Structure 1
Amino acid sequence: MNRIPALYAALLQSIQEVPPEFSLPLTIAGKLAGFITPQALKAIAHLPAVRITQTAVHIADPGTPRFELDPLLADISVILRDAGLLKTWRDELLTVYAEGEDLAKMERAAMRPLGLLTHAVHLNAWTPDLQLYIAKRAMTKATDPGMWDTLAGGLANGSEDLEHALLRETLEEAGLQENVLTCRTPLRTLLRMHRRLPEGYQVEDILVSDCILPPHATPCNMDGEVSEIRIVSQQQAVQMIADRQITLEAALVILEGMLSRTSETLLARFRAQPQNQGEPHDKQ
Structure 2
Amino acid sequence: MNWLAPLRAAADQPPRSPRVPLWAGTTQVGSVEPEFIRKIELQRIPYLHRVLLKVQQNGTTGWQLQGDPTNSLAHLAHILRDAGLAAAWRDEQLAVPAADGQDGQVVATVERAVVRALGITTRAVHLVGAAPDGRVWVQQRAFTKPNDPGLWDTLVGGMVSAADNLDTALERETWEEAGLRLPSLHGLRLGGQLTTRRPSTDSGGAGYVVEHIHWYSCTLPEGVQPQNQDGEVERFDLLAPALLAQQLAQGVFTDDAALILAQYLGLPDSYT
Query: How does the TM-score come out when normalised to structure 2?
Result: 0.86
The answer to whether the aligner puts 1:153 opposite 2:169 as a matched pair is no
CA 1:217 to 1:195, structure 2 compared with 1: closer, same or farther past 3 Å? same
Once superposed, which parts of structure 1, at least 4 consecutive aligned residues long, lie more than 6 Å away? Answer: none
CA contact 2:65–2:73 (8 Å) conserved in 1: no
2:266 aligned partner: 259
- Structure 2: runs of 5 or more not aligned: 42-47, 268-272
SS for the counterpart of 1:252 is: helix
Q: CA deviation at 1:10?
A: 2.4
Q: 2: distance between equivalents of 1:71 and 1:257?
A: 41
The aligned amino acid for 2:180 is L
The answer to whether the aligner puts 1:77 opposite 2:77 as a matched pair is yes
CA contact 1:40–1:80 (8 Å) conserved in 2: no
Q: CA deviation at 1:187?
A: 6.2
Q: CA RMSD in A?
A: 2.0
The equivalences for 1:7-26 within 5 A come to: 7-26=3-22
CA contact 2:144–2:232 (8 Å) conserved in 1: yes
CA 1:188 to 1:243, structure 2 compared with 1: closer, same or farther past 3 Å? closer
The aligned amino acid for 2:179 is G
CA contact 1:8–1:256 (8 Å) conserved in 2: no
Match of 1:193 among 193, 196, 206: 196
Q: 2: distance between equivalents of 1:236 and 1:38?
A: 45
1:93 aligned partner: 93
> CA-to-partner distance for each residue in 1:21-65, whole Å, 9 max, x for gaps?
13212222211222212344225554234224483323236xx6x
Q: 2: distance between equivalents of 1:131 and 1:114?
A: 39
Q: CA deviation at 1:71?
A: 1.1
CA 1:187 to 1:254, structure 2 compared with 1: closer, same or farther past 3 Å? closer
The aligned amino acid for 1:24 is V
2:142 aligned partner: 138
The equivalences for 1:174-253 within 5 A come to: 174-186=178-190, 188-189=192-193, 191-199=194-202, 200-253=207-260
CA contact 1:20–1:37 (8 Å) conserved in 2: no
CA 1:69 to 1:25, structure 2 compared with 1: closer, same or farther past 3 Å? closer
CA contact 1:27–1:56 (8 Å) conserved in 2: no
Query: How does the TM-score come out when normalised to structure 1?
Result: 0.83
The answer to whether the aligner puts 1:51 opposite 2:54 as a matched pair is yes
SS for the counterpart of 1:47 is: helix
SS for the counterpart of 2:70 is: helix
1:60 aligned partner: 65
SS for the counterpart of 1:122 is: strand
Q: CA deviation at 1:128?
A: 1.2
The aligned amino acid for 2:246 is Q
SS for the counterpart of 1:116 is: coil
Q: 2: distance between equivalents of 1:148 and 1:226?
A: 10
Q: 2: distance between equivalents of 1:169 and 1:184?
A: 15
SS for the counterpart of 1:185 is: strand
Q: CA deviation at 1:87?
A: 1.6
1:102 aligned partner: 106
Q: 1: distance between equivalents of 2:65 and 2:7?
A: 37
Q: 2: distance between equivalents of 1:169 and 1:149?
A: 13
Q: 1: distance between equivalents of 2:23 and 2:196?
A: 20
Q: CA deviation at 1:104?
A: 0.7
SS for the counterpart of 2:214 is: strand
Q: 2: distance between equivalents of 1:166 and 1:82?
A: 33
